[in-house]
Amino acid sequence: MVDVPTGPSTEARIDPLTGDEVVIVGSRQARPNLPADGCPFCPGGREAPEPYDVRWFPNRWPPLPDGRAEVVLYAPEHDVTLGSLPPERVARLVALWAERTAALGARDDVAYVLVFENRGPEVGATIAHPHGQVYAFDEVPPAVRAELDPGDDGTAGACPLCAEDPGDRLVAEAGGWRAWVPAAATWPYALLLAPADHVADLPAAAPSHGELAALLVEVFGRLDRLFDAPMPLMWWWHQRPTDGGAWPGAHLHAHVAPLLRSPGTPRFVAAGELGSGVFFNPVAPAEAAAALRDA
């Protein structure tokens, strides 16, 4: 169970029907929404008093205790995106992700480091300045463990990302990295980004950070051009846990979940999907990949 502070405002609970864990963090209800007194992430703001290229700091409204929730600023400019920055600047951001993964992962109370971003008010981002977050969990989260734990079908040890041949679902490549639409994509323009080699985590990927940066610029630029507007999205890295286990199946990769299925139209996850656990994607993955290649 995730280690959370005790008290009336925060409590970890297990759903007796599903076994799912939920952390109730009442203190986060008081978070500011779209601050009216200027951007706290711009240079000179509350969270960035000095000039910077990339920057991290502890989250003032952490869902996890003991300094295990951080904010990462991508750039000092307020209106840039990953798709509009030069690759060499994005490479500095990738290096910072790797640095925070290593620093947090070295702690005895951290078993997994999740790097992620929520972009756009449509997905709940409260500040428009380009930024992401880092959560450091005391146990390997269920979504990560589901990818890493071997099944009982005799394929234990096989890596599905190493075996992946995206074919007409391939969107872009940069050096040893590639991006493609998953064959069973939940979101219409969902993407996976991964190195062709079996690299375990962001620190281990250091020799190819420049190639990864180039791919990030291309992929997020294509998503923004797809409907001629910034694409609201959620995305996150999955990498090797830091609990000391071997985890030979860990293959570094990013999941990208764009919100829109057509211009201005979100892809809502509806009751039939949540109630069944079966998802219905209205856009064929090969068609989504072709649209992104053309963007």
**Binding residue numbers for Zn(2+):** 39, 42, 78, 129
Please say if 209 is a catalytic residue. Answer: no
- One-character DSSP codes across 168-220: GGEEEEETTEEEE--TT-SSTT-EEEEESS---STTTTGGGHHHHHHHHHHHH
Give me 91's structure tokens. 């490479």
Q: How far apart are CA 69 and CA 171, in angstroms?
A: 32
CA dihedral 99, 103, 33, 127 (to 10 degrees): 0
Q: How far is CA 37 from the centre of its chain?
A: 29
The answer to whether the CB of 1 falls within 8 A of the CB of 139 is: yes
Find residue 46's DSSP bridge partners: none
DSSP H helices, 45-116, are 87-105
Longest pairwise C-alpha distance within the chain: 58
Please give the positions annotated as active site. 131
